[in-house]
Structure 1
């Protein structure tokens, strides 16, 4: 948790008359902080091989390749589309991080398949008081928003049927929904925990 002195901007800011202007300043600051922490390069280090290899091994019969063949799977070209705050209730807010990236799958003896993926991560933020009466910014549940997941094949291989591509896409989407959040949330939580105190103070000053 991040220690702050004073009432944090979440305690009513989102309902204030100048909310849009202030929120723009906040989200810009948060976005720059996230980018400066190397968040996007960190996404490319997420280990997907073991989980997603099982997905494509199910289609080996249709692809006419051996089940023992090696697949190479890589998360590529991550982009930060948007960082935003949404009012929740009481002294809480939801931080949304919208991401865009590609997943490349290299099949043995075949050209690659490339899928573009877009999704939102959501983190609950709220205030707590320590024993000295100081406010702490606490991070609640972090998760990938299932309904935000969008996936589309970007490069089609003529040696792979549309039927196979469609099934791979569905299975891949389910794996992203069920598994990716567990890898991305620690990166987001680490960034929030180490949030620049200057940024936090700027957020506090917006309320004072």
Structure 2
């Protein structure tokens, strides 16, 4: 993968798409081989180093949003920056700018319970990208959205990834979702092949 590239991995349920993301994120250990991103091999990192690497290098977008219900929208987006040691004012400023980019600047003070599904997923995208990660991992990011919201969210995710020069690896079973990708791979029998 290269900076700004959006790659979709397709496969039937149970083929290991989510496991692939967990391996790349260092949440699971491979049985064989090695995982490396930007020259950093994950196998040699202890739990603390792996957590710090994950905080800096990765952004995550999940099907079920994983927005913290007790934090405002702005605080949810600022959270990765706060975890990476940024002071509150700088994190809030960056979160506000990122919310502007995803069309939710006016919702910064809102609580997640006040948002629609499409808005929640836009918050998740903002949170995934606010700290300018090398790689965004997206696990069925439109699985809980209606077709119109799904199309808008995917277009937004692809646009923001490309503008920031991040890489995005999205796993999906949706052919429609895969249309936004620069490349589509298929996962079958433990192998990735060009679709």
After TM superposition, the score normalised by the length of structure 1 is 0.23
Q: Which has the higher contact order (CA 8 A, sep 6+)?
A: 2
After TM superposition, the score normalised by the length of structure 2 is 0.24
Q: Per residue, is there more strand in 1 or in 2?
A: 1
